[in-house]
Structure formats: structure tokens, C-alpha cells
């Protein structure tokens, strides 16, 4: 066989395999049952408007709260990682390893039970607990991303700032961090997408009906509608958040990733 013949035979084999897989699924799955469970229009209609006005809204609120805390804490941890003071570096290192290594589920439980223990008498504000849980997890990831971004800013930028009389802290705040953030925008957008899905653990903090986010809302609706359709509706709502984020991330990558180099040097 020539190289061209071999290539087209190989491609034909791949299409054949795909066709077989599709046929197997088509004939073995119970389509009536699936359609009845997942595409029940009546059950879908019942989800509205609460799935938007309560569940989607809460998912967005929890994501924003968790991301804000995570970003602030992550920046502090990144600076600690780069500090000349040993104990700061060790603490940041330990924090990052610890919270990156634990499942988010455990952290939600620990925060939910830990805050009332640590501050007796305070009633647990669920928004705060969700924000803290999501914040301490995402901070561990974001710290490493931000640290890498700070280190990717060319040394000449700091030298130029120092040569103009800026102190190390001033140079960091005015010159380095703004440029580091441009570098890390795409990976941070990725963190935001991950975090959006982690909000589904908020049910561990015993939320009231008006505090439910998408995943819990959908699970609850399974019982009332006797249908799997709410899962589909809830899932689509997640995509309403994450797909635009992905698009933004791709645009940022194109804008900052390859083309523009910080410093404008040679």
C-alpha cells in the first residue's frame, strides 16, 4: 500500500468504529424511557422561574464571593511565598500543599462545624461559611498561579522601578502585580470555572430553600417532579455561566498570552 492508501484505510477504519459504537448505543438504550425522564417538558416548565431567580442567582453569588476571597488570600499567599522572611514562605508553602491536597467536601464540612466551635455564640452566616470554604480552597490554587505570574514579569521591570527611586513594595504594587495579573488572567479564568462547579457543595452547610444553588435545587426537584429533567435544566444553567467564561478566557489568552510581552523590551 502507498502512504496515501494506508492513510485513507486508517481513516475509514476509524469512521467504521464510530458508527459501530453509535449503533450499539442506539439499539441498546431505552430511548422512550430516557426521553420521558430527561426531556419532560412539563417537569422542565415547573423549574421556572425559581431555577433562575433563586438557584442560578445563588450559584453566581457564591462563586463571586468565593472567588473574591480566594483572589485576595491567594495574592497574599503568593507574596508570602516570595518573601525573604523564612516563616512566611514556610507557612504559605504548607497552606498551599494542605488545601490543594484535601477534597473540597471535607473543607465544607470542617468550616460548617468548625466556625461555630471556634467562635461560640455566633450564629453561622451561611453566605460567610460558603465564602470561607470556597475562598480557602481556591486561594491555594490561585496562590501558585499568581506566584508564577509575578515571577514571569521580567527582572528589568523591577530594576527600572527601583532605579526611579521606588521602594521594593511600591515597585511590586505599581509595576509588578498589574503586569503579573495580565499574565495570569487566563489561568485565573480557569480557576473561576472550577470554582463555579465547587459551589455545588454548598448543600453541606444546610442551606434553607432560598439559599439553594443549582445542584441542590435540581436534586430537590427530582423528588417533586418524579423526573430527571431538572438535572438537565440545572446542568444547562451551569453551562450558561461556564461557557461564556471559557470564551472570555480564550479571548484573554489570545490577547495577552502570545502577543504582548510585558515590559515592551526587545
Partner 1 sequence: MSDNTVIEVSELHKAFGDLQVLRGVDLRVERGEVVCIIGPSGSGKSTLLRCVNMLEQPNAGRVSVDGVDLTDPDVDIDAARRRIGMVFQSFNLFGHLNVLDNLTVAQRKVLKRDKENAETVARANLTKVGLSEKEKSFPNQLSGGQQQRVAIARALSMDPDVMLFDEPTSALDPELVGDVLGVMRQLADEGMTMLVVTHEMQFARDVADKVLFMDGGVIVEQGDPEQVIGAPQHERTKSFLARVLDPTHHGPSDPAL
Tell me if 210 contacts partner 1 by CB under 8 A: no
Distance CA 13, CA 16 (A): 5
Residue number, 156 or 209, with CB nearest to partner 1: 156
CA angle (163 as vertex; 157, 167 as ends), nearest 5: 85
In the structure grid, which three cell numbers stand for residue 181, read together?
495579573
- From residue 231 to residue 260, the character string flagging contacts with partner 1 as x (rule: CB under 8 A) and all else as - is -----------------------------x
Tell me if 265 contacts partner 1 by CB under 8 A: yes
| Burial grade of 148 (CB within 10 A; 0-12, 13-18, 19 or more) | middle
Residues present in the chain in total: 266
Tell me if 166 contacts partner 1 by CB under 8 A: yes
**DSSP-assigned states of every residue in 76-92:** HHHHHHT-SSHHHHHHH
Residue number, 4 or 155, with CB nearest to partner 1: 155
Question: How many CA atoms are closer than 13 Å to the CA of 184, on its beta-carbon side?
Answer: 26
Tell me if 175 contacts partner 1 by CB under 8 A: yes
Residue number, 89 or 162, with CB nearest to partner 1: 162
In the structure grid, which three cell numbers stand for residue 38, read together?
430527561
Sole binder of partner 1 in the list 103, 156, 209, 244 (CB under 8 A): 156
Residue number, 89 or 182, with CB nearest to partner 1: 182
Tell me if 151 contacts partner 1 by CB under 8 A: no
**Footprint of partner 1 (CB under 8 A):** 154, 156-157, 159-167, 170, 174-175, 178-179, 182, 260-266
Amino acid at each position: 500500500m502507498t502512504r496515501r492508501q494506508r492513510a485513507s484505510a486508517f481513516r475509514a477504519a476509524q469512521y467504521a468504529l464510530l458508527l459501530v459504537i453509535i449503533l450499539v448505543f442506539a439499539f441498546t438504550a431505552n430511548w422512550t424511557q430516557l426521553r420521558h425522564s430527561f426531556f419532560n417538558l412539563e417537569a422542565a416548565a415547573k423549574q421556572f422561574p425559581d431555577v433562575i431567580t433563586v438557584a442560578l442567582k445563588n450559584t453566581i453569588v457564591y462563586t463571586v464571593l468565593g472567588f473574591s476571597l480566594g483572589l485576595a488570600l491567594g495574592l497574599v499567599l503568593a507574596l508570602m511565598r516570595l518573601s525573604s522572611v523564612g516563616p512566611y514562605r514556610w507557612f504559605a508553602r504548607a497552606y498551599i500543599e494542605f488545601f490543594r491536597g484535601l477534597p473540597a467536601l471535607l473543607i465544607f464540612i470542617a468550616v460548617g462545624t468548625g466556625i461555630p466551635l471556634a467562635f461560640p455564640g455566633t450564629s453561622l452566616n451561611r453566605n460567610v461559611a460558603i465564602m470561607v470554604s470556597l475562598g480557602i480552597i481556591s486561594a491555594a490554587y490561585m496562590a501558585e498561579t499568581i506566584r508564577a505570574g509575578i515571577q514571569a514579569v521580567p527582572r528589568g521591570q523591577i530594576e527600572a522601578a527601583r532605579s526611579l527611586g521606588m521602594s521594593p513594595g511600591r515597585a511590586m504594587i505599581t509595576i509588578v502585580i498589574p503586569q503579573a495579573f495580565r499574565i495570569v488572567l487566563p489561568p485565573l479564568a480557569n480557576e473561576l470555572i472550577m470554582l463555579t462547579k465547587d459551589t455545588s457543595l454548598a448543600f453541606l452547610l444546610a442551606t434553607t430553600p432560598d439559599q439553594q444553588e443549582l445542584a441542590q435545587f435540581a436534586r430537590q426537584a427530582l423528588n417533586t417532579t418524579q423526573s430527571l429533567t431538572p438535572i438537565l435544566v440545572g446542568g444547562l444553567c451551569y453551562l450558561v455561566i461556564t461557557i461564556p467564561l471559557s470564551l472570555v478566557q480564550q479571548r484573554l489568552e489570545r490577547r495577552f498570552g502570545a502577543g504582548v510581552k510585558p515590559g515592551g523590551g526587545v
